[in-house]
Every structure is written in C-alpha cells, then in structure tokens.
Amino acid sequence: MNKRIWLSAPAMCGKEIEFINQAFKENWVAPLGPDVDAFEDEMCNYISAKHAVAMTTGTAAIHMALKYIGVENGDVVFCSSLTFAASCNPIMYQNAVPVFIDSEPETWNMSSVALQKAFDKYPNPKAVIVVNLYGQSADMDKILEICDNYNVPIIEDAAESLGAIYKGKASGTFGKFGVLSFNGNKIITTSGGGMLICPDEISKKRILKWITQSRDEARHYEHSELGFNYRMSNICAGIGRGQLTAIGERISRKKEIYDTYKKAFSNINSIEMMPVCDYGEPNYWLSCMTIKVGCKINPTDIIDALEKENIESRPIWKPMHLQPFYKKYDYFTHDSDVSADIFERGLCFPSDVNMTNDDVQRIIEIIRGRF
C-alpha cells in the first residue's frame, strides 16, 4: 500500500525538543512554568497584540471570551454557520441562544448582508463570533462597521488563520477578543491548546483567575466564584515556542501547495478553487475547492478515489444550521444559502507541509483522472 498522506499533520521543526529538554532539566513539567508566559509574549510579538492567555483549547478561549463579555442565560449570540462546532458550542455552555449567519461567496466567510438581516430581527445580541475559514480573514471592515453601529463586541475566531493578514493587520487582532488554536492539524501545534487575545490587562487578569479554578488570593484554597481548569501546560507551551519559529516556512509551503493545485486544475472548468481575496494574504491552511453545478463528478467521488490510494481528504465543514443539534436555531442567508451550497459542492485537499512535491503531483493526477 502507498504511504499515508494526511490532510494536515503535525510537523516538527526541531526547535521544540530544545524547549522541552530545558523544561525537563529545570523540572518545569508541572502545569505552569516560564514557557507559558514566554509563549504568550512571543505570540503577541508575532501578531502585534498586547495581551494573551494560553489555554488548553481554542474552544476554552471562546468560552472565556463569552463569559467575560457577560453572555448568560437567554442572550443571543451571532455566529458564522460555515465552521466547526467548536466555534458555537461555548454559546451553549453559557446557556445562550445561537443565531447563525451565512457566508458570502467571495470569501466563504461571514456575509455582511446576512449579518445585517440578523441585526434587523435581533438588534441586541450580546456578541458576534466571526470565523476566519480555512486560513483567510473575513472581510472585517464590513463586519466591524455593522457591529460598531449596534455597539456589539466581536469575538474573532482565528483558529484556522494564524499568520493571515487583513489589510496589513494580523488575523485575530480585530475583535474585542481573538481566538487561536494549536490543535494538531493547525498551522502550528502544541499537541492541542489555544490562546485568547485580550484587549487589556484587566481582562487578562480576570480570565487568568477563571481558568485556574478561580482561586482567591488566600493562603488556603478559597473560591468565591466558579472556576475552570483551562490553563495551558508548560510542556505544551514549550512545543508552541518551537513551532512559532517555523511559522513563516509553514505558510510559504502551504501557499506553494495551494498554487500548485490551482495551476494544475486551471484548465478543468468544473473545478473552482477557494477564492483568495485581494484585501490580504491567507495562511493557506487548507487548500479547498468546489465543483461546479451540473458536473457528473461530486466531492464524494474524489474523496473516495483519494482514500483508495491511502490519501486523506475531507468535505467542507457542514454548516451549523444544518447540524441536528443546531438546526432549530435561527439562520440568516446571504441571498441564497451560500454555506449549504459550499458544503454540498466542496472538499479539502491534502495540504500537509510534510508532503513532497511528488506526493502533490500524485494527488493531482488522481483528481484530474476523475474529470
């Protein structure tokens, strides 16, 4: 059998082990240690932010952002529909009510048209969760203008877009809070983990208390409010520090893979690559495409053909408004249902930086063979 080619596997640059060995040498294997603070500082430096809190997951980061904003029982929270469930599950943790917003075809991200429709019906949501899909920033100027008009804070879910740029500014730095993920398949990994980009020192300190079990300042264990066990470990932070040194190389390789696919499929009229907008630069986390309406080939045909050759690919995220758990909640479309259309016609190619150029060409040949 041919070797397994993954959609997006972890890639080690070699620096990670240096931080891990240093932590072992100095016995910083307990949950906290100097690498946690250093990882936060280095990430802030990379994206030009001032405050960050490293956590166990990006999901935990969204949860704490919602809690800090004051989302509670019965509050309405708008969220992109075309995303992974982690973007909206924390809304339910706070017993709030999700309202889902469609994508626009130009970016695959939150539609400002659909967002305005949602505000017309629900003028007082507590927050808006904007997801930057597959490594590209949403068109934030349009979304910020609408949210500012209603004085509603944005949580920018940049879990998939670390390293992406929107009009000269880093993804994850546009909302009141920004959310990063370091899951194993992301542009960099800590073997899990996430980070919350905070607006100020006050919010950072408050959230730091919450995620370390809300322990009060007392000699004994004193707790005056509910706490959570969401703090990133020192070992994971050390991995992240090593990974961060290679992020430029990762993005360059991801772009090279995307450009190779795009050129190879440019003469197949039925294939449309995910659009790359001219307002910035994505991190090209996953290379995605849609198949034009009327083509006899569908995404499942391609996924099955690749899997027969031991190559992983996946459908586009199934929108949240179509999920059994969430379909009872309100949803606002762009014009037609863009998110559902992208899901029906789309798929994600292998975008693993560990692939060789020969691997990429083999994938291309298999896909071209289906057309």
Q: What pLDDT digit, counting tens, does each position of 250-288 carry?
A: 999 999 999 999 999 999 999 999 999 999 999 999 999
- 32 — pLDDT class (breaks 50, 70, 90): confident
CA-based nearest residue to 125, from 172, 82, 85, 74:
74
**What's the mean per-residue pLDDT of the chain?**
97
For the entire predicted model, the pTM comes to: 0.96
Q: Domain residue spans in the chain?
A: 15-244, 248-370
CA-based nearest residue to 60, from 228, 215, 222:
228
The arrangement of secondary structure in 248-370, i.e. its CATH architecture, is Alpha-Beta Complex (3.90)
Sheet with 346-348, side-by-side order of all strands: 271-273, 288-291, 346-348, 314-315
- 1 — pLDDT class (breaks 50, 70, 90): confident
| pLDDT for the residue numbered 128 | 98
Q: 46-74, pLDDT tens digit by residue?
A: 999 999 999 999 999 999 999 999 999 99
Q: 280-320, pLDDT tens digit by residue?
A: 999 999 999 999 999 999 999 999 999 999 999 999 999 99
Q: What percent of the chain has pLDDT over 90?
A: 97
- 130 — pLDDT class (breaks 50, 70, 90): very high
CA-based nearest residue to 342, from 274, 259, 262, 278:
274
Query: Which range has the worst mean pLDDT, 94-98, 176-180, 212-216?
Result: 212-216
Contacts of residue 270, Cβ cutoff 8 Å, sequence gap at least 6: 291, 292, 295, 297, 371
Q: Chain-centre distance of CA 15, in angstroms?
A: 24
Question: Is 186 in contact with 162 (CB distance < 8 Å)?
Answer: yes
Cα separation, 208 vs 196, in Å, equals 10
Q: Which two tokens stand for residue 130?
A: 């904007």
Cα separation, 139 vs 108, in Å, equals 10
Contacts of residue 288, Cβ cutoff 8 Å, sequence gap at least 6: 134, 273, 274, 316, 346, 347, 348, 349
State the average pLDDT over residues 330-349. Answer: 97
Question: Is 347 strand, coil or helix?
Answer: strand
| pLDDT for the residue numbered 31 | 77
Q: Which two tokens stand for residue 45?
A: 């430096």
- 160 — pLDDT class (breaks 50, 70, 90): very high
| pLDDT for the residue numbered 349 | 94
Q: What phi, psi does 303 have (nearest 5°)?
A: -60, -45
Cα separation, 345 vs 295, in Å, equals 10
pLDDT surpasses 90 at 9: yes
Question: What one-letter code names the amino acid at 164?
Answer: A
Residue in the structure block whose two tokens are 């100020």: 200
State the average pLDDT over residues 204-224. Answer: 95
pLDDT surpasses 90 at 244: yes
Cα separation, 225 vs 43, in Å, equals 30
What is the dotted CATH code of the domain comprising 15-244? 3.40.640.10
Beta-ladder partners of 79: 100, 129
- 2 — pLDDT class (breaks 50, 70, 90): confident
Beta-ladder partners of 273: 289
CA-based nearest residue to 247, from 197, 186, 200, 313:
186
Q: What percent of the chain has pLDDT over 70?
A: 100
pLDDT surpasses 80 at 30: no
Q: What phi, psi does 179 have (nearest 5°)?
A: -125, 130
State the average pLDDT over residues 340-358. Answer: 97
Question: What one-letter code names the amino acid at 58?
Answer: G
CA-based nearest residue to 109, from 250, 248, 279, 300:
279
pLDDT surpasses 80 at 141: yes
Cα separation, 48 vs 173, in Å, equals 8
